[in-house]
Structure 1
C-alpha cells in the first residue's frame, strides 16, 4: 500500500503540469518545476520533519547493520511526502529507494510494536523490501532475489516462506489498485542469435565502463555538495544546475519511464521528443549523440537532485541510463557500415541489465528483474553474459555499490559472512568494563597496595595523567615480586612499573571486527579503550567471546 500511494501521489503531481494551459510554456517549466519541488522538500524538512532523510536502501542497510533493525517511525511518512514532490516536479530520481524505505520502516515498527526479536525484525525488513520491489515492478521472483542479494538475507525455509508471502501479497495489492499494466512494455520481436554473442560481450564492456562512470560521478558530486554546510546554499546551487540541465535535455525530467518504453518500442523520435535545439532527427548519428548525451547526463542530473536536497532512488535512473546506452550501441553497430545487424530493442533491454548489475552490484537481481518485468526470458543468455561482464569489471574498479560504499568504509556493511555480521551488530558499550581503579604515574608503591590492590578484584590498573590521557597499565604481576618489600613502598613509582600495552582500542574508529583482530594479533587478554584520546575502559577477551557467542546463537537460531 505504501508503494501504491507513493506512485499515485507522484503521478498525480506530474499530471497537474500536463494540462493544456501549460503547453505554451513547456520549456520554461522544465527549468522552474524541479526548483519548486526541491524548495517544497526543503521547507518540509526544515519546518516540519526537522530530521535527516537518507537514501532509502542505504539507510535501511545501516539500520540493519548498526541499529539492530530499529528504524525511526518518521521514515514511514517522510519519503512518502518528499519523494513524490521531488520526482513529481521533475527531479531526475526514481521511487524504488523511497518505496523500500517506507516498507522497511513499516516492517521495523511492526516488529517493535509486537516486541519481536532482532532476527525477526531483520526478516520483516527484508520482506518489506521484497514487497516494495514486487509492488513497484510487478516482479515477485526478482523481488525475492533483490531482498536476498541486497540485504544479505539467508536462503532458508524459515525466511523463504515469509519472503514469498510478502512478495506475492504486494503484487496482488498492486494489481488490485493499479491494474495489470507493467512499467516497462516489451515484446520480443527478434530472437537471440548465437552469432550476436560478440556484440553482447562488447555491450557488457560498455556498460561496465558506464557503471564505473556512474559510480564515480555519484561520489564526486556528493562530495562536492557536502562541502557546503548550508542546506539553502545546496538548494540554490543544485536547483539552478538541475533546472538548467532539464531545460536543455528535457528527457532527464522525472523518472524516465516514457523514454525507456519508447526505446523498447524502437521509436527513438518520440523517446527523444522535444529539444531546445533545432536538430535533424532523421540523421541517425545526431540521434546517437543525443542518446549518449542523455545517458551521460542522467547520472549527473540524478546526483545533483540529491545534492540539492531531493529525495528519491537511484534504481530507475540506472535503468534509464542503461536503456539509452544500449539503444545507442545497437544503432552504432547497425550503422557503422560493416553490414552488421543487431536488435535495437533487445540491446535497449539488456543495456538496463548491464548498468544495474554494475552500478548496484546486483547481477542476479538485474537478470531476473529485467527478464520478469518484460517477459524477456528468451533473452536469458545475453542477459547473463552482459550482467556477468559488467559486474565483474565494475567490482574490480569500484569495490562497493553506491548503496554500500560508505557503510563498507566504516565497517558497517552486512554481508553473507555470518562471522562478520555477528561482530558488526555487537554493541561495544556492552563489552567495555569500567570498574578499574585508576592510577597516576607519580603514585608510590605503598599507596598502590593500600588504595588499589587491596580494594580491587582486578589485576589490571590503568595509568592516566592529569588530563585523563592513557599512559599505560600496571598489572599485579608487575609488582608481585616487590609488593612485600617495605623499603620500596616510598621509593618506587607507578611510572617505574607500568607497561605500555601492545595495542589500543579506539572507541570511535575501531569496528568489532578490528577489535577481534587486535586481540588475535596481540595475544593480549585485556586491551584498553581510548575515547577522544582519553582513557575510557577495558575490553577483555573472555567478555567479548561470551557476547559473540550469545549473538551468534541469536543469528543462527
Structure 2
C-alpha cells in the first residue's frame, strides 16, 4: 500500500510534471550550450579574418549578409518552410490561447540559424532563440507524452525559463521571464517547476560552458544620487518605447517586399553600410558594454567617429541605431532576438547620461551604476517586465547591492513605456500580424467549444401547411419557446415564436384559417454545427435574441439557446484545472 501511495504521489500527476520540468531544463541547456558554442566559433573565425590585412575592414561588414543568406537557404531548402517565426510572439500566442503547441522544427532549427547569423555579426541576441528553442522542446515533450493542454503550457514555459537561465546563468530571471512574459497570468503553484527547470539549466550550463561570462562588476550607489536614477528611469522609458515602435516600423516596411530574396538583398546592403560606418553595431555588442564598465572607452570609439572627443556624439547614435539595425537583421532573413540589443542600448544610454551629468559638474557618480540600471531599465521597458529587468541585471553583473536603483529605474521605465506603447515588443508583433495579444479567458473558453457539442437536437418542428389550431395544441403540450418551420427534406423555412402564437389563443374563429407559413418569420442568422460558441455569442449580443437555429447545408440540425451557452461557460470555468 505504501508503494502504491508513493508511486501515485511522487511519480504520478504533479510528481511526473515536476520531474519532466527538470528534464526539459536539462535538454534545453544542451541546446543552448550548442548554440552559444556555435556562435562563439563563428565569432572567433570572423575576428581572425579581420586581422589578415587592412583591407579586410571593407569585407568584415559583409559577413552578416552571409549569415542572412545562410538562414534563408537553410529555412527554404533544408527545413522547406515558407514562414519561419523567429520571435517569441508565437510562444506567447500559444500560451494565451491555451494550447501550448509549437512546431517541432523550432526545437533545433534556431540553434543553427541564430548561431550562424549572430556569430557572423548579425545585430541580434541569442536569448530569444534560446527561449524559443526551450519552449519548443517543452511543448513537444508534452505532446509526445499526450499530456493535457495545461501541462503542455507549463512545460513550454519551463523550457522558455530554462533557455533564459542557461544563456545568462540567471535562474531567478529565467523564472520571472516565464511568469511575466510567456504565461498569460501569474500562477504561484507553477513557480515550483519553473524554478526547478531554471535551476537545473543554470547548474548544467555552468558546468558545460566555460566561455566568457557577460559582466561581473561590484559597484556601490549613494542615496544622494537617487534623483539621477529617476532621470535614468524616465529616459529609459522613452527609449524603450522608441525601440518597440522602430522594431514594428522596420517589420512593417520590410514585409512590403514580397520576395524573401529581395528582402535579404535590400537588408544586407543597408546593413553593410551601417556596419561599415558603425562596426560597434555588429553582433550582440556585449564586449562594448564590458569596455565601458571597465573604463576602456577607446575600444568603443571606432568607425567614422574614431576619436575620444566624439564619444558623446557616438553613444546616442549607437543606442538609437541599434534597434533599427537589429530589426533589419531579423526582417532581412537573419535569426536572433531583441534581448541583446536592449541590453546594448541600455548600457550606451546609461553611460551617456553618466558622461553628461559628469560634464555638468555633478560629483560622486559611478559609471557602473548607470550602465547596469540603464540595461535593466531598457529591458523592463521593452518587455514590460520590471521584475525580469531587475533580477536579470542583478544576476548578470553580480550586483545585488543595486536592487534599489534597479527597482526605481525598471519601475519608472516600464510605467513610461506602457503609457506610450500599449503592448511590449512581442505582443506588438502579434497586433501587427492581426492577432489578439491578450484574449480574455471567456473568449478562449468559448473558442474551444463548437456549437454541435451543446445544441439541442430534440426540438419540435412545424410544417408550413399546419393549421394554427394544431400548433396551439402542440404549444400547450411542449415547453419550447421557439419552433422551427421546416420542409419535408428538413430545410429550414422560418421560425415561429411562442409569444407570437399566444396572441391567437382566444381567437378560435381563425384557428383553422391561419397556417404556419402565415406566422413564421425569416430565420435569425443561422449557425453551422462547426461554429464556435464565440461566434454564437457574437450573434446573440448583436441581434439580442435568445435562440439561434443550427443548419448544415441548409437543413436544420439543432437549436442553440443563450442559456445553454451560459451554462456551458459556467461549467468550464468551475472545472478549469490549474497549471500545476
TM-score using structure 2 length: 0.80
2:578 is the counterpart of 1:556: yes
2:389 is the counterpart of 1:366: yes
Aligned pair in 2 of structure 1 residues 85, 389: CA closer, same or farther (>3 Å)? same
Aligned pair in 2 of structure 1 residues 490, 144: CA closer, same or farther (>3 Å)? closer
2:245 is the counterpart of 1:216: yes
Looking at structure 1, the residues matched to 494 and 70 of structure 2 have their Cα atoms a distance apart, in angstroms, of 55
2:76 is matched with 46
Give per-residue Cα distances to partners, 1:502-544, cap 9 Å, x unaligned.
Answer: x999x99x994x975875787643457999xxx9997643145
- Pick from 316, 323, 335 the counterpart of residue 299 of structure 1: 323
2:349 is matched with 325
1:384 is matched with 407
2:233 is the counterpart of 1:233: no
Looking at structure 2, the residues matched to 473 and 11 of structure 1 have their Cα atoms a distance apart, in angstroms, of 71
Is the 1:422–1:555 contact (alpha carbons within 8 Å) kept by the matching residues of 2?
no
1:424 is matched with 444
Looking at structure 1, the residues matched to 376 and 326 of structure 2 have their Cα atoms a distance apart, in angstroms, of 19
1:89 is matched with 120
Where do residues 110-259 of structure 1 align in structure 2 (5 Å cutoff)?
110-152=141-183, 158-179=189-210, 182-188=213-219, 191-259=220-288
1:11 is matched with 40
Larger Rg belongs to: 2
Looking at structure 2, the residues matched to 177 and 164 of structure 1 have their Cα atoms a distance apart, in angstroms, of 20
**Match of 2:116, SS?**
helix
**Match of 1:404, SS?**
helix
**Match of 1:16, SS?**
helix
- Pick from 340, 343, 349 the counterpart of residue 372 of structure 2: 349
Looking at structure 1, the residues matched to 493 and 294 of structure 2 have their Cα atoms a distance apart, in angstroms, of 72
Q: CA deviation at 1:354?
A: 1.0
Is the 1:30–1:250 contact (alpha carbons within 8 Å) kept by the matching residues of 2?
no
Is the 2:464–2:485 contact (alpha carbons within 8 Å) kept by the matching residues of 1?
no
2:576 is the counterpart of 1:546: no
1:440 is matched with none
**Match of 1:389, SS?**
helix
Root-mean-square deviation over aligned CA pairs: 3.9
**Match of 1:487, SS?**
coil
Give per-residue Cα distances to partners, 1:172-227, cap 9 Å, x unaligned.
Answer: 11111113853223232xx2111111111111111111111111111111111122
Give per-residue Cα distances to partners, 1:306-355, cap 9 Å, x unaligned.
Answer: 2212221111110101100111111011113x344521221011100111
Aligned pair in 2 of structure 1 residues 397, 472: CA closer, same or farther (>3 Å)? farther
Aligned pair in 2 of structure 1 residues 106, 544: CA closer, same or farther (>3 Å)? farther
**Match of 2:146, SS?**
coil
**Match of 2:358, SS?**
helix
Is the 2:524–2:548 contact (alpha carbons within 8 Å) kept by the matching residues of 1?
no
Is the 1:444–1:492 contact (alpha carbons within 8 Å) kept by the matching residues of 2?
no
- Pick from 63, 67, 73 the counterpart of residue 33 of structure 1: 63
**Match of 1:19, SS?**
helix
2:293 is matched with 264
Looking at structure 1, the residues matched to 558 and 271 of structure 2 have their Cα atoms a distance apart, in angstroms, of 50
In structure 1, stretches of 5+ residues that fail to align are 438-442
Aligned pair in 2 of structure 1 residues 269, 447: CA closer, same or farther (>3 Å)? farther
Aligned pair in 2 of structure 1 residues 528, 386: CA closer, same or farther (>3 Å)? farther
Aligned pair in 2 of structure 1 residues 493, 179: CA closer, same or farther (>3 Å)? same
Looking at structure 2, the residues matched to 53 and 136 of structure 1 have their Cα atoms a distance apart, in angstroms, of 22
Is the 1:30–1:243 contact (alpha carbons within 8 Å) kept by the matching residues of 2?
no
Q: CA deviation at 1:65?
A: 2.4
Q: CA deviation at 1:448?
A: 11
Structure 1 consecutive aligned stretches of length 4 or more whose deviation exceeds 6 Å: 433-437, 447-450, 470-473, 528-531, 535-538
Looking at structure 2, the residues matched to 399 and 537 of structure 1 have their Cα atoms a distance apart, in angstroms, of 42
**Match of 1:312, SS?**
coil
Aligned pair in 2 of structure 1 residues 22, 448: CA closer, same or farther (>3 Å)? farther
2:338 is matched with 314
Is the 1:526–1:540 contact (alpha carbons within 8 Å) kept by the matching residues of 2?
yes
Matched length: 525
Aligned pair in 2 of structure 1 residues 271, 119: CA closer, same or farther (>3 Å)? same
Looking at structure 1, the residues matched to 545 and 42 of structure 2 have their Cα atoms a distance apart, in angstroms, of 62
Give per-residue Cα distances to partners, 1:412-468, cap 9 Å, x unaligned.
Answer: 4358xxxx335325435523579899xxxxx99428999xx99xx9946599xxxx9
Looking at structure 2, the residues matched to 289 and 354 of structure 1 have their Cα atoms a distance apart, in angstroms, of 22
Looking at structure 2, the residues matched to 105 and 89 of structure 1 have their Cα atoms a distance apart, in angstroms, of 25
Aligned pair in 2 of structure 1 residues 47, 548: CA closer, same or farther (>3 Å)? farther
Is the 1:264–1:345 contact (alpha carbons within 8 Å) kept by the matching residues of 2?
yes
Looking at structure 2, the residues matched to 297 and 167 of structure 1 have their Cα atoms a distance apart, in angstroms, of 33
Greater mean deviation of Cα atoms: 2-11 or 14-23: 14-23
Greater mean deviation of Cα atoms: 397-406 or 483-492: 483-492
Q: CA deviation at 1:368?
A: 0.8
Aligned pair in 2 of structure 1 residues 342, 118: CA closer, same or farther (>3 Å)? same
